[in-house]
Amino acid sequence: MSEPSPGMMAHTAQVEAEHEINFHGITAPAFVALSMVVVLLIIWFAGGFKAMGKGLDGKIATIRKQLDEAAALRAEAEKLRAEAQAQAAAAHKDAEAILAGAKAEAATLVAQAKVDADTLIDRRARMAEDKIAAAERSAIAEVRAKAAAAAAGAAAKLIAEKHDANSDKALIDRTIASLN
């Protein structure tokens, strides 16, 4: 198929324009346009455009009110978040201070416990040494007493064996003479 020539296209448009339905020179698209103008005029005279404007203005006011409420809520949320962050920071500082105090107190308690343990050990050692010394003194006194008793017994036995009444008289006389 070949393309139609420009002259042929102009002739086709003219034939279609002649066959188009019209009423007193008004075609169907013109009737549609005229009908729209009439409907718009009726809406305008009835106040429809004002009502639509008022409705849109009301909707705009409602949206503005909601936006203002949202902005206020956001500001309040930001304020609450800032307060919560400040409280968290303060709590963190308090926790650090408590921890530092607890560490210092624990170190003090450990040092005091060490001093108390050393003191207790020293006191127990002195008590043990005192008990040992007392036991030694008691044992020495006991040994001395037994030795003295044994020596006295042995001396009495020797004297009884080697001395008689005459030798005792001579011993007593010499002792008396040495005292004068």
**Closest by CA position to 115, among listed 123, 104, 127:** 123
For residue 40, is it within any domain? no
Q: How many domains does the chain have?
A: 1
Rounded percentage of the chain residues whose pLDDT exceeds 90: 51
Kindly write down the DSSP assignment for every residue of 31-53, as one continuous string: HHHHHHHHHHHHHHHTTHHHHHH
**Per-residue pLDDT reduced to its tens digit, 9-31:** 655 555 555 667 777 878 888 88
pLDDT for residue 166: 74
| Residue 149 belongs to domain spanning | 47-179
pLDDT for residue 86: 95
pLDDT for residue 109: 95
For residue 10, is it within any domain? no
Backbone φ and ψ for 5, nearest 5 degrees, come out as -80, 160
For residue 42, is it within any domain? no
Three-state SS string over 50-112 comes to HHHHHHHHHHHHHHHHHHHHHHHHHHHHHHHHHHHHHHHHHHHHHHHHHHHHHHHHHHHHHHH
**Helix, coil or strand: residue 3:** coil
Cα–Cα distance, 141 to 113 (Å, whole number)? 41
Q: Which pair of structure tokens corresponds to residue 48?
A: 């429809």
Cα–Cα distance, 49 to 40 (Å, whole number)? 9
For residue 25, is it within any domain? no
For residue 110, is it within any domain? yes
Per-residue pLDDT of the chain (180 residues; tens, 9 = 90+): 556 666 556 555 555 556 677 778 788 888 889 899 999 888 888 887 888 888 899 999 999 999 999 999 999 999 999 999 999 999 999 999 999 999 999 999 999 999 999 999 999 999 999 999 999 999 999 999 888 888 888 888 887 777 777 777 777 888 888 886
